[in-house]
Every structure is written in structure tokens, then in C-alpha cells.
Structure 1
Amino acid sequence: MKILQLTSHFSPNVGGVETHLDNLVRALVARENSVFVLTYRPLITKAKWKMYESRKDLRILRIPWFSGFFYEFVKTPILEFLYLFPGLFLATPLILFLESPDVIHTHGLIAGFVGVFWGKLFGKKTISTTHSIYHFPKNGMYTKFAKWIFANSHHVLTLSKQSKSEIANLGIPSDKITIFTYWVDLEKFKEVNGAKLDHLEGGPGSHLAAKRKIRKSFVVLFVGRLIEEKGILVLLEASRKWSKNITLVIIGTGPLESRIKNLEFRIKNLKYLGKIENNKLPDYYSAADVTIVPSIHEEGFGRVILESLACGTPVIGSNRGAIPEAMDDSVGMLIDVTPENIKKSVEFFYKNPGRLVELSKNARKFAKNKYSSKNISAIINVYSSKD
């Protein structure tokens, strides 16, 4: 099968959706499908990138575009649309003409609009995927825009019951909406024993210093984009109040990076490591006592949860969005995110190591049962369906 993946964000951009798309593309190619990815250059992450890549059954075209504006434009839907729409809209018909894919698989509303518009003109099956919870207003252009995309897609893929419900509330038949689940590479994301952490090197963020702290104190790990919606500011406030024997380790980049770097000099039990390559993350998950996902917005799913559990590390998660669907109290704790609640949950695990050990034993098994690569079958079934 020939599949066009249409998305505004793709690696080497860093994020949960980007990691999922990497996994999806690899899994599709491994199953002898031909995949073409049409995307932009990295718009969020500063990274080296190639405009065009080609290898067996996989080609990637990254449209050169203005970077560094995403976080400014994303606050206003019309500006986000004007920023992300033109390149994809102009390039898609050329790719459809040259490649003639069997399926167009879009990710996000803007790519969804582009895919559905050109898919109808070219007579192509179009699958729209949402990776977020949108909270569509009852009326208005934004809601009409989304409804048109979903109504004219052959099928819609969503990550959670909550997401499926909000799309169904737009009048989309529920049998046209399928819930799928992210998966994690269980061979890569697995527990790394302490001896194997010796290969970590010093450098930006001083990983060696972090390693020494990890060995001497109770470690709470945050991995994600440094934006307010991820709850990072609430987490930092909580870290000022908890025991001095608890170290907060932060991995990620984003608009709040300079603020966190400045705080690192004033908060002794804070360690900021910056960007860590995805293949090295299992070391950090394994070295941490608990991972925290304190999102204050409606998280689409929370990929960090999957990765942490696969490495045997329990999770403290926000009770917002789809996070409660991603984990339960057998592998962590769900909280209403406030500084006081974060402090209480972290100190509970710090003071109750037996409970932490119990959850750690459950974590890997939970990930293997729920987040294996078998989850791709839901997507492939939609590709193959005759609706």
C-alpha cells in the first residue's frame, strides 16, 4: 500500500507526536508499505535537517519554511492557520500527482483540511488523525472548519474516549471514529541498571553533575516541551517547597528555557539538562525514582507516560485530558495539578519507598500489555477498510 503522511511537524522536530510518527512510519515500512512524508522543516526544535531523504520504501520531503514563530502564532488559531497552511497546501497536489498514494493520512486540523481538500479532488481515501483535545465551541468558524474536515474524511482516528466524544458531538457518526493508542519501542525503552549509566558524558547541562545528584537523592523527572501548558511553572513552584533531598531533573527545550536556566542557579535541588536525544532517554527514566507529567491543559495522551512505564518508572500524572486513560493507580498517581498537590504526591513516594517499589514492578508489565507495537493494527485496519 502507498501511504502519504501529511503533517506540519515531523522529526528532527522533538515531541510526542513526532515520536509517534517516527514509530508509525517505521512500522508501516516494516510491513512492506511505501510511505511518503510531506512536512515542514523543524519549526520548533533547533536541529540539523535535510530537505529530502530517501531510503527503502520511505521518502521524506521537508518544505523550507520560516522557523521560530510557532509558539507566537499557535496562541491565535487564524495566525497558526496562515503560518502552517500555505506550504502544505501548495505542495500536496504535486506529491499526489507524482506519487499517486492509495491513502492520505493527515495529522492535525490544518494538515487535515489540506488532505481532505486535495483528496476529494484527486479521489483519494483520506484519514484524519487528531492528537489533541480541542474543546470546540458550540458555534463559530473554528467549529465549522473542524466539522467540515471530519465530515469529509473517510475515517477519523483519535487517541482517547474524550477526543472521540468531542468529535462525535460535532455530528460525526461514532462508527466513523476509531480510537487508537500510541505504542512504545519496548526494545529501546526498558530499564537500564545503574552500572550502565556510566557512559553519560558531561557537556551542556553537565550530565555528570546530574548523575551524581541522581545517585545521592530522590529524583523527580520531567521530560517535555518547556511551555506553560505542560505545567512546568507549577512544578517549579512545588520544587521550592519539597524536601531538599528531592531533586527535580528537567529535560526539554522551549520558550521557558532561559527562565529555567536562571532558576537553576537559585534552586539547589533543580537540574536542567536541556535536550537529550531520544535514544538516551531510557537512561534517565531508569535513573529517576518517579516521572511527573503535570499538564494544566487537556493533554492528548502523554507519550512520556508510556516511555517512563516501559522503563519501570512510576508516574505522577495530571488528571486532565486523556492522561487518566493512559495510566492508573497500579503504576502511579493522578492528581489535580497545584503546587501543594505536587509537593504532597512527590513527598508521599519519597517517604514510602515500599509503595514506589510495588508500582515499579507493575510499570513494565503495564506498558507491555497496553503499549506494544500491536497497537498499529487499529490504524492499518482503517487504511484497509472500505468505508
Structure 2
Amino acid sequence: MPPVPPTARRPIQRELRPTLVLGNALDHYDTWPAPTVIVSDGAYGVSGFPGDPPTPDGLVDWYAPHVDAWSRRALPSTTLWFWGTEIGWATVHALLMRNGWAYRSCHIWDKGIAHVAGNANTRTLRKFPMVTEVCAQYVREVHLDSAGVSMPMKAWLRREWERSGLPIGLTNEACGVKNAATRKYFTRCHLWYYPPAEAFERLVAFANARGRPEGRPYFSVDGKRSLTGEEWAGMRSKFHCEVGVTNVWHEPAVRGAERFKAEARALHGNQKPVKLLDRIIRASSDPGDVVWEPFGGLCTTAVAAFAVGRRCYSAEIATQYHALAKERLARCTPPPPLAATRPASGDETQADVTAA
């Protein structure tokens, strides 16, 4: 059973600079607060950096210890964004699924024709020029206990109501709706709707008041108390979709002032645009949430996270990239203060963060 986020609320710390460590993220996962977002931009299987396997065949072994740590530390609400080539991602997909990551969507970064500018030798490559990368979205496959049986959330919700001995039709009365509960929240088909916190709390109160006394408490994962609406809401990954944004991202490769260069040479072979990292961070988190960047590079994820009030924890193993990223983060302007509160994640141990 996943950890249940507590109901306590804490002020958002909007001015906390990202934490950046020099070294392997595997040595730091257990010291970082549990993440709401993980942005993975590691090995591609193209010999892109020392230690990157020469082919995708070596990616499963490369990622296995990281995926194990992500799965162990993730919250029920954690979203993983996995960057790679199409064949690299496809190679790692089964590993992620085995470790409880549910595939949500594949996003295509279209860098545009200027990315190759006619320089690809197609006679030698024997294929059309590549101007894309993929970023796959995964969420946690959450299972909950019902009377000692572990099951997916959809089945758990129905099982808990059935345990009460009440007819399914009464779920509409419990929620104060005409038929939305039976048609959406308790449907057996694939078009299942996740009950919002308010509806969940009404279901809990109704079942505990009118259900079989011997089965109480209902909608509980420990047999001692029912989940709160806030805890129920924390069992699902966050997602905010801007109008007009699709899974195809037309964005030029990084150029100009954003690109890190030494004279005319790019210092990092695969620097991501801040705009794309900003998009996925805002889509899957709220201000104050924790973001992990296990393969920092130039720490574009940390830059984007800091700008929108998220707390980022980054690791970079290469001394040169670490130095550049540290300098880059030191120049970042803090976001404006925001007077708000948010649910505590349940696994946050640091009240103050500074760049290392």
C-alpha cells in the first residue's frame, strides 16, 4: 500500500533555491524529499556521454537501479517524465511497467527542419533525417487494501461500497447527484471517473453511517480509520492541461543566449529548452512541490522548477556540467512570493534548501 499523505498543511516555501549535488543520484535518492515530479533525461543508448551505452540494448541495465529507487520513493501522486529516443524509451518501457509505472502518453519534441539544416547524409544513414525526441509520461499504478485484498483504485472504491451492504444506486444519494455516481464513479467500464475529494467524503460519511456496523470503517486502508478527501485526492497524479497544447511540441533546438557555448561549440550536446521543462513541470505539480532531476546536465529542469516555485533536487556526475549548472542556478531570479498553502507530501524532511 502506498503512503497516505497527511492532512496537515504547510506554507509554500517559494524562495528555496534548487539543491544540486556533484555525484551519482543513486547516492542521494534516500536523502531527498519524496517527489511529485521526476524528470529523467539520462542515457539514450547513443554513446552521448561517458557511460551512455553505445546501443539501446544496454539501457535496461543502466536504468534498473534508478527505476528501483524511483519506485521505492515515489508518492501515489508522482509523475515521471522520461526523455529519450523512440527506440531507447521503448527499450526501457517494460522495465518501468514492471516497477509499477503506468504509461500515460508519449510526447514528440519536433525540433524543426533547422535542426538538421540539410546536413544529414541520407545516402550513408539510409533514413530520413531525425528532428525529434520523445518524452513519455508515466504515473504510479496505485493499489489499495480492502479487507486484506490489494486492488486498483477503481476496483477498491466499488469493493468498499459493496462491503457496506448498501445498493450501488444509493451512491447517487450519497453524493447528492442524479446519476453521476453510478454512471461515472462506480462504473465497471473503462470510462471511469475519479471521484473528487468532496464526493469521496460524502461516500465515506454515508457508508459509515448507514452501512453494516461490523464492516466499519469503510474506505479505509488500515482498518482503523477512513481516508479523508484530501488523502484520497493525493492518491492520483496531478495534471493541468493548457488549452491548445497537444502531445506534439514544436520547439526549435536551443540557440542564442540560452545555449551554453565555448566560442562556437555547444558545451552540452542535448540541452533542452526551458520552455519544454516549464510545460511538463507546471502540468504535473503545484507550487511548493518537489521535483527530482537525477541526471542534471546543465540543470534546465531545476531552472524551470525554481521559476515557478517548485523545489528541485538535482544530481550531476560530470564535474564540468556540475560547475556550469551551479553557476547557472546561482544567476536564477527567485519567483515572486505567493501567499498560499498546500498539502504536505508526507515525506518532506527539509525546511530549507540551498544550492550545494
Q: What TM-score comes out, normalization by structure 2 length?
A: 0.30
Bigger CA radius of gyration:
2
Q: What TM-score comes out, normalization by structure 1 length?
A: 0.28
